[in-house]
Amino acid sequence: MVIPSFETVSTPDPPSGANITDVHNIEYYCASGAVSSKGHPVEYQLDFDAGGNHAYSSWFYVYSSSCRLHSWSIPGTYIIKCRARCADHPGVMSEWSEGTTVEVRPDPETEIVRVINTYRIGDSDFSELVDFNDAIPDTVPYNSWITVVNRGWDRLFNRISFGEDTTACMTYDFSYIWRSERFPISGGEPTILHCGKCSEDSASLSIGSVEYEMRVRSVNQFGRPDRTPAGVEIVGNFDPTLDSYSIENYNERIVGDGDTLVWDWWAPADSELVIPENVEKKRFYFTINASGHDHPKDPLGSGITSWLYSFRDLGGTFNRFARSGSWVEGSSIDVLSDTFQVVFVYPLGDWNGDEVFDNLPQWINKTYDFTLKGRDLKKGEEFEQYAICNGIQQLMNVYPTDHFGRWTREARLRFHFMIIR
């Protein structure tokens, strides 16, 4: 009897190649180490996701190329394994090799690290400067572009991009021509390399509008985008600031946060009861003092021309715009100080004796949240001065948003209002 000689193929070595890469990067992974017991040629197969859903390569001969190209579209940790078989007898196959671990990182992140608000004063032009870093310091990846989203009145025209992987500066030129919200540059559009070498990757933006939002994005020669960071708001010439505020009651007493505001209904005088003038007029006055400033402005102009304030209790909200004052011309910092009155009015009725306590107005003996914030508006633009609604969001929807500039911070205080006899 002749005993047949069986062929075996030894287990190959773990695949070799990059252990760390980024999504969409194309890497070489090579197989080796398998031997046929008969000395026959062997071929290999790679599994690029052996620990997951599997991603098998085709079989390949080692004498043509022992490596295969591969990339991943989803970040994560992957296990690569390989196996071999006899090229002459495909049914003779080895076991899978030990695995090679590959960490696939997210797209290189472009980080906006600094934003400097600048503006135009007189004949001197200043630009918005935005510095950003990419995975490779001091380089601007191939075909990079910036997204500028206009959220204001004017329009922006972008004319810059990068056609090579080099360090350069980006310049945006202001114009009233409206394009899209994204500005990747096509081959037919002009490209301006502002400078050949810079100490930092930066974007210079000359603006004259209410506000913008900027995002930086990089795309390499393989079409791989980075992870776009959160947008950075650019407010340009318009950056209003609420400097101070106060609220006073009818006798010019400052109302502080947490105060209880008491109104004496009756006031004794010479053994006779005298009704105070404001009570006789069935009104109670709050006086609001607000002061704010804005950056110096280009000829288009701007200013805190409106203040939004609200008195809120559990029963609802009263909102109102009050537009008052004028900007101080010719000063380095424009300051607007307003003083205006809020009037609580009694409903009609009998105001004599104890009946006032039987029929108290709905706004008495309640806790109120007072809020105040200012918004700048371009000179010459008009809007309805007053509005009453049930909520701040409704009030914002009353007017077209592109008629407004930027809000200041919101100031808030809480006080309790009560009436006594």
Residue 248: the pLDDT is 81
Residue 307: the pLDDT is 65
Alpha-carbon dihedral angle through residues 290, 291, 295, 299, given to the nearest 10 degrees = 80
Report the CATH architecture of 107-236: Sandwich (2.60)
Residue 228: the pLDDT is 44
Report how far residue 226's alpha carbon sits from residue 128's, in angstroms, rounded to the nearest whole number. Answer: 23
pLDDT digit string (tens) for the chain, length 421 residues? 444 458 999 999 999 999 988 777 889 999 999 999 998 999 999 999 887 888 899 898 776 558 889 988 888 899 999 999 998 899 999 999 999 999 987 665 544 444 443 333 333 333 344 444 444 443 444 444 444 444 333 333 333 333 333 333 333 333 222 222 222 232 222 223 232 333 333 444 433 333 444 444 444 434 444 444 444 444 444 456 778 888 887 667 788 888 887 766 554 444 344 455 555 555 666 777 777 766 544 433 345 656 666 666 655 555 444 444 443 333 334 455 556 566 655 544 444 444 444 445 555 677 777 777 776 644 333 332 222 222 223 323 233 333 345 567 788 888 887 766 5
**Alpha carbons within 13 A on the beta-carbon side of 138:** 5
Report how far residue 404's alpha carbon sits from residue 382's, in angstroms, rounded to the nearest whole number. Answer: 10
Residue 30: the pLDDT is 92
Every domain range in the chain assigned CATH 2.60.40.10: 16-105
Residue 14: the pLDDT is 95
Nearest residue to 255 via CA among 263, 266, 267: 263
Residue 231: the pLDDT is 44
- What the block records as the tokens of 85 is 């078989």
* Cβ-based neighbours of 96, under 8 Å, separated by 6 or more: 11, 47, 50, 81, 82, 83
Q: What is the CATH number of domain 16-105?
A: 2.60.40.10
Residue 50: the pLDDT is 81
